[in-house]
Amino acid sequence: MLTDTAVRNAKPGTKAVKLFDSGGLYLEVAPAGGKWWRLKYRHGGKEKRISLGVYPDVSLKDARERRDAARKLLANGIDPSKTRQEEKAEIAADAVTFEKVAREWFAKFKENRTPGHAARTMRRFEMDVFPWIGARPIRDILAPELLATIRRIEARGAIETAHRTVQNCGQVFRYAVASGHADRDISGDLRGAIPPTKEKHHASLIDPRDAASLLRTIETYQGSFVTMCALRLAPMLFVRPGELRHAEWNEIDLDKAEWRIPAAKMKMREQHIVPLSRQALAILSELHPLTGAGKYVFPSVRTSARPMSENTVNAALRRLGYAKDEMTGHGFRSMASTMLDEMGWNRDAIERQLAHAERNSIRAAYNFAEFLPERRRMMQTWSDHLDKLKAGAKVTPLHAAGE
C-alpha cells in the first residue's frame, strides 16, 4: 500500500509511472510530473478506469475515500463512470451559460433599440459568438477564450463587427455581474487586442456643382414612380435611409406640413419632427393617390405590407450612374449638413434636424421640438436652394440671419 511519503516523493519517468495502492486505486505520474489518482475496476465484464482527482489537491486519504464510495456503487450494480457522466451533465445543465445570460439581457434591453439594430445585435451573437462560447458557463469564460472568438471575426476582415461584438459581449458580462452570474467583465481585457477600425465616411457630394448635377440626374430616373419620389425627397428631408423607407402615412400631416417619426423608429429612440417644405408636400400629395390607401409611403414592389427594400435608393443611384464610392442614400445627410453649415444656419438647428444624439438624457426627453420654428424656415430655404441648384443658377450662400 502507498504512504503519504511515497506519493509525495514519486518521480516521473520517460513513460507514465503507476504506483498501486489497493482495491484498484493507483497513482499515475505523467512524464511531465503531474500526478493523477485513478481507479481500475470491472463492470459488465469490461475493465474500466475513472479519475479520482489530482494530487496534492486530493490527498491519499481523500483518494481512498473516493475509491470506497465508487466500490459501494459497484456492489449495488452501478457503474461509477456512468454516475460521473450523469453528474457532469447535471452540473452543465444547471450552469448559467453565456447564451442564457445574453438572451436574458437582450430580452430586457431590445426595446431600447430600433428593430433593425436589435436584429443585427442578436444575429452577431448567433453567428459569431454562441457557436463557440454560448454553452460555456459565463463565470468560467476567460479573456483568451473571448479573444479567440473575436479573432474569427477579425480574420474575415470585419474589424468594425469585431469591435461591435466585443461591445455587446461587454454589455452581457456587465449584466451577468449585476445578476450575480459572473465576477467581472472580461471584455475590458481585450482593449488594444483588436486593430482599430478605419474611420468610415458615407460617400457624398458636397460641392454645389456636383449636387446640382445629381439633382438634375434624379429627374431623369425612369424606374418606379415610388422610387422616383423617394429619390426626390431624400435630399430635401435628409433623414436616415431606414427612416425614409419606413415612413408611414399616419405619421405625416399634410395640413400641418410635418412628419413626426415615432421614437421607436429612431436611432436615438426619441421622437423626431421633420418639417415639410412646399416642394416636399407637392411630392407627397402626388404620391398619395398611389400608395395612400396602404400603410407605407414607399411600399415594396412585391407587397404593400412591407416597405421598400433597404437597397432601393442606392440601387437607383447606381442605375443613374453614381458608384457607391461617389454617392449613397446616407450621403444626402452629409450633403445637407455641409451645405447648410456653409449657408450660415445655426449648427444646433442643423444637428437637431439630423437627429443626432443628445448627450444630456434629461434634455433629450424634452427637446424633440427644439429649434422647430428655425428648422421650419431652414427646411423651406433648403428646398428652395436645391431648386435653384437644379435650375443651374449660381447660388450665393443664403445665411440664416438674412431669412
Catalytic residues: 240, 267, 330, 333, 356, 366
**153 burial via Cβ count (<10 Å: 0-12, 13-18, 19+):** buried
Q: What is each CA distance from 396 to 87, 208, 229, 378, 385, in whole angstroms?
A: 80, 10, 27, 16, 10
Phi and psi at 379, nearest 5°, equal -65, -35
Helix (H) / strand (E) element for 92: namely helix 80-94
Cβ-contact 280, 233 below 8 angstroms: yes
Helix (H) / strand (E) element for 333: namely helix 331-342
The C-alpha atoms of residue 249 and residue 223 are separated, in whole angstroms, by 22
Q: Which residues contact 199 (CB under 8 A, 6 or more apart)?
A: none
Query: Angle between the 331-342 and 225-237 helix axes, to the nearest 10 degrees?
Result: 40
Cell of 57: 489537491
Q: What strands lie across the sheet with 46-55, from one edge to the other?
A: 17-20, 25-29, 35-43, 46-55
Q: Note the residue count of the chain.
A: 403
Q: Within 10 A of 316 (CB to CB), how many other CB atoms are there?
A: 20
